[in-house]
């Protein structure tokens, strides 16, 4: 299961990561977020050696939500070496996430 991060450990866990990081901005009351959670857990296992997946609770981490311009949950932000590469919004499929991740060279 992807680890939850917040503003205190975001730099260390995400921005300083040696491998790309997929950040899931979610909300506990968001039904699409709950539907995508098992997909992210599976991808975390499948891509363990080349992708890190973390979760940010949008209801509690306003600073990160504002910094990354998150307007709705779920929003998946893909960062590589601390820089945003791409993002997906809403209830997306596993294939869409895989395409996003595989686009990193």
* CATH code for the domain of 49: 3.40.30.10
H-only helix segments in 7-102: 10, 31-46, 62-67, 94-102
How many domains are there within the chain?
1
- Pairing type for strands 3-4 and 52-57 reads parallel
- Pairing type for strands 83-89 and 21-26 reads unpaired
- Name the residue range of residue 63's domain: 3-102
Name the residue with tokens 């307007």. 71
Q: 88 with 97: CB under 8 angstroms?
A: yes
Q: If you ran DSSP here, which 8-state letter would residue 47 be given? A: T
Element (H, E) at 73: none
Beta bridge partners of 26: 57
Q: Is the pTM of this model over 0.85?
A: yes
Determine the pLDDT at residue 105: 62
Block means of pLDDT (10 residues each) for the chain, length 105 residues?
95 96 97 96 93 97 97 97 95 93 82
Catalytic residues: 30, 33
Determine the pLDDT at residue 78: 97
């Amino acid at each position: 299961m992807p680890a939850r991060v917040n503003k205190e450990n975001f730099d260390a866990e995400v921005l300083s990561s040696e491998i790309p990081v997929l950040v899931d901005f979610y909300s506990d009351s968001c039904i699409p977020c709950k539907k995508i959670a098992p997909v992210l857990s599976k991808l975390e296992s499948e891509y363990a050696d080349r992708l890190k997946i973390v979760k940010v609770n949008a209801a509690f981490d306003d600073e990160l939500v504002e910094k990354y311009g998150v307007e709705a949950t779920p929003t998946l932000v893909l960062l590589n070496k601390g820089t945003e590469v791409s993002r997906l919004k809403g209830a997306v499929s596993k294939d869409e996430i895989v395409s996003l991740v595989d686009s990193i060279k």
